[in-house]
Amino acid sequence: MIRWYWLFIPFCCGAQGIDDSLFIRRIYDEALTRGQAYERLRTLCKEVGHRLSGSEGADRAVAWGLANLREMGYDTAWLQPVYVPKWERGTLEKLKVSAAGKSIELSITALGMSVPTNGILEAPIVAVRNFEELETMGSNAIEGRIVFFYEPMDPRFIDTFFAYSGCGKYRLRGASRAAEMGAAGVVVRSLTHATDHHPHTGVVIYNDSFPKIPAAAVSTHDADQLLGWLQKKIPVTGFMELNCSLKEEALSYNVVGEIYGRQPNTFITIGGHLDSWDKGEGAHDDGAGVVHSMEALRILKTLGYQPGFTLRTVLFMNEENGTRGGSAYADSMRWRSEKHYAAIESDRGGFAPRGFSMDVNPRQMKQIEALTPLLLPYQLHLFYKGWSGVDIGPLRRDNPDALLMGFVTDSQRYFDFHHADTDVFEAVNERELTLGAAAMAAIVYLLDKYPVGQ
């Protein structure tokens, strides 16, 4: 059966070669000598600031995104409406603990979407390493307590995202698992390899079958101190206070920029998420992915590249606490009967590029591998089968053969900044960020020019 993408063969030159290597060189030259990603990240971080869904910061970010895409020479740019949850942190995030006659305050932050404590929650704190231990301890040991999940991220993983997924479950689902056994509140060790004083937030997902209990993250430094007391069997009482609240849903937007291709109804989308937590400036997470995606298509347009597919940059709203933007984008593709050939997400920070993690089938993988030698001179060497991204994931539903990819960076320092006050513009290196934008442009160029079949 002849597939639609073979229609592109006449525009291609067969095997890739010298022209392609020269064009990729021009992509990198444009990025490295006239790049705009770093300055654009500066304005996002310093003029817009953090931008949690439904906040004024998010509204400013939407306006910033649209104005920038228009200014950058995209053929068209527009806003795609989406309703998002609106959660506010409030002004109180306190955990005082009393142990051995002493009382100290720990550095905590509410997990996103947490319920408030409604006054001071006073309860004994009990340390639990993991869900198995929670089950073994039984309801008698858990009921009425604040459960402290203390398992640290496993340092043995070289790709730190594996360590993150290993412990992320306590932040995501620890509150409901503990509530099922009668707990009154939950504190989780911050998800970072660093030992520091910054608590790292992130979303908590409640299971509606159990009571919703307040949930917070504690800095790794203070988590170690708390664990020290509890492991010595010193009784610890916590006094926890959160006044966060969930408001009515708010109208927000994905921001979309498009460069017309010869095929108007089949797309390559690249994107990052425009929303961030209300900590720091959302520089690595995901300001970097936002400016990578904007800059990659700007570079192709500036170099006069005529794409076969229609190229889109999408700045997704609400990745952090609802993923409504990703779902709304996939839904809109369905209504308009638009097809996706490929989508690439950048949401692993502005660090040195390493390659792409690919949700593709083995035949597609082979075809992509034939293209990757052109990227080796730019130190892009990781091309493996794996996860693509939260925002582009929903495209799979209507595009079973689409190439879905996640941009892979050097992950060693990402969690020093992730969801914490430390995630500011100054934490991003200009050169590493710039190389990321060039890497995104280069892969879009190759996938567009040499369509990968099923």
Q: Could you tell me which stretch among 116-124, 228-236, 277-285, 443-451 binds Zn ion (CB under 5 A)?
A: 277-285
Q: From CA 403, how far away is CA 380, in angstroms rounded? A: 18
Q: From CA 246, how far away is CA 85, in angstroms rounded? A: 8
Sign (positive or negative) of CA dihedral 99, 105, 108, 114 = positive
Q: How many residues sit close enough to Zn ion to count as binding (CB under 5 A)?
A: 3
Q: Could you tell me which stretch among 17-25, 278-286, 348-356, 403-411 binds Zn ion (CB under 5 A)?
A: 278-286
> Which DSSP category does 338 fall into?
-
To Zn ion, the closest distance from the beta carbon of 40 in angstroms equals 17
Nearer to Zn ion, 41 or 230 (CB): 41
Nearer to Zn ion, 93 or 286 (CB): 286
Q: Could you tell me which stretch among 61-69, 191-199, 303-311, 341-349 binds Zn ion (CB under 5 A)?
A: 341-349
To Zn ion, the closest distance from the beta carbon of 298 in angstroms equals 22
Nearer to Zn ion, 86 or 273 (CB): 273
Contacts of 56 (CB under 8 A, 6+ apart): none
To Zn ion, the closest distance from the beta carbon of 319 in angstroms equals 6
To Zn ion, the closest distance from the beta carbon of 221 in angstroms equals 24
Q: From CA 298, how far away is CA 190, in angstroms rounded? A: 37
Q: What angle do CA 416, 213, 165 make, to 5 degrees?
A: 35
Contact status: 258 vs Zn ion (CB under 5 A): no
Q: Could you tell me which stretch among 116-124, 161-169, 343-351, 434-442 binds Zn ion (CB under 5 A)?
A: 343-351
Q: From CA 301, how far away is CA 229, in angstroms rounded? A: 59
Query: Tokens 């817009």 label which residue?
Result: 48
Q: Could you tell me which stretch among 344-352, 376-384, 406-414, 422-430 binds Zn ion (CB under 5 A)?
A: 344-352
Contacts of 274 (CB under 8 A, 6+ apart): 51, 58, 61, 62, 65, 254, 255, 286, 290, 315, 316, 317, 325
- Establish how many alpha carbons lie within 13 A of residue 114's alpha carbon, considering only the half-sphere containing its beta carbon: 32
DSSP H helix total and E strand total for the chain = 12, 16
To Zn ion, the closest distance from the beta carbon of 364 in angstroms equals 26
To Zn ion, the closest distance from the beta carbon of 321 in angstroms equals 11
To Zn ion, the closest distance from the beta carbon of 270 in angstroms equals 15
| Window 179 to 208, contacts with Zn ion (CB under 5 A) | none
Q: In sequence order, what are the beta bridge partners of 147? A: 126, 186
Instruction: Tell me the pairing of strands 185-189 and 102-106.
Output: unpaired
Contact status: 416 vs Zn ion (CB under 5 A): no
Nearer to Zn ion, 281 or 285 (CB): 285
Contact status: 347 vs Zn ion (CB under 5 A): yes
Q: How far apart are the first and last CA of the chain?
A: 11
Nearer to Zn ion, 258 or 345 (CB): 345
To Zn ion, the closest distance from the beta carbon of 191 in angstroms equals 13
To Zn ion, the closest distance from the beta carbon of 318 in angstroms equals 11
Are 263 and 270 contacting, i.e. CB atoms less than 8 angstroms apart?
A: no
To Zn ion, the closest distance from the beta carbon of 286 in angstroms equals 4
Q: Could you tell me which stretch among 153-161, 236-244, 282-290, 422-430 binds Zn ion (CB under 5 A)?
A: 282-290
Q: Could you tell me which stretch among 212-220, 255-263, 321-329, 342-350 binds Zn ion (CB under 5 A)?
A: 342-350
Q: Directed axis angle between helix 288-302 and helix 430-449, to 10°? A: 50
| Window 74 to 113, contacts with Zn ion (CB under 5 A) | none
- Count other C-beta atoms under 10 Å from residue 5's C-beta: 18
Nearer to Zn ion, 30 or 347 (CB): 347
Nearer to Zn ion, 20 or 285 (CB): 285
Nearer to Zn ion, 192 or 310 (CB): 192
To Zn ion, the closest distance from the beta carbon of 94 in angstroms equals 27
Contact status: 275 vs Zn ion (CB under 5 A): no
Q: Could you tell me which stretch among 75-83, 205-213, 285-293, 395-403 binds Zn ion (CB under 5 A)?
A: 285-293
Q: From CA 282, how far away is CA 275, in angstroms rounded? A: 8
To Zn ion, the closest distance from the beta carbon of 272 in angstroms equals 8
Q: In sequence order, what are the beta bridge partners of 217? A: 109, 188
Contacts of 74 (CB under 8 A, 6+ apart): 257, 258, 259, 297, 298, 301, 313
The sheet carrying 382-385 orders its strands as 76-88, 245-259, 309-316, 263-273, 339-345, 403-409, 353-359, 382-385
Q: From CA 124, how far away is CA 121, in angstroms rounded? A: 10
Nearer to Zn ion, 159 or 285 (CB): 285
Of 241, 275, 285, 448, the residue at the interface with Zn ion (CB under 5 A) is 285
Nearer to Zn ion, 258 or 286 (CB): 286
Per-residue tokens: 422: 């430390």
| Window 4 to 33, contacts with Zn ion (CB under 5 A) | none
Contact status: 286 vs Zn ion (CB under 5 A): yes
Are 47 and 281 contacting, i.e. CB atoms less than 8 angstroms apart?
A: no
Q: From CA 241, how far away is CA 94, in angstroms rounded? A: 5
Which residues of the chain form contacts with Zn ion (CB under 5 A)? 285-286, 347
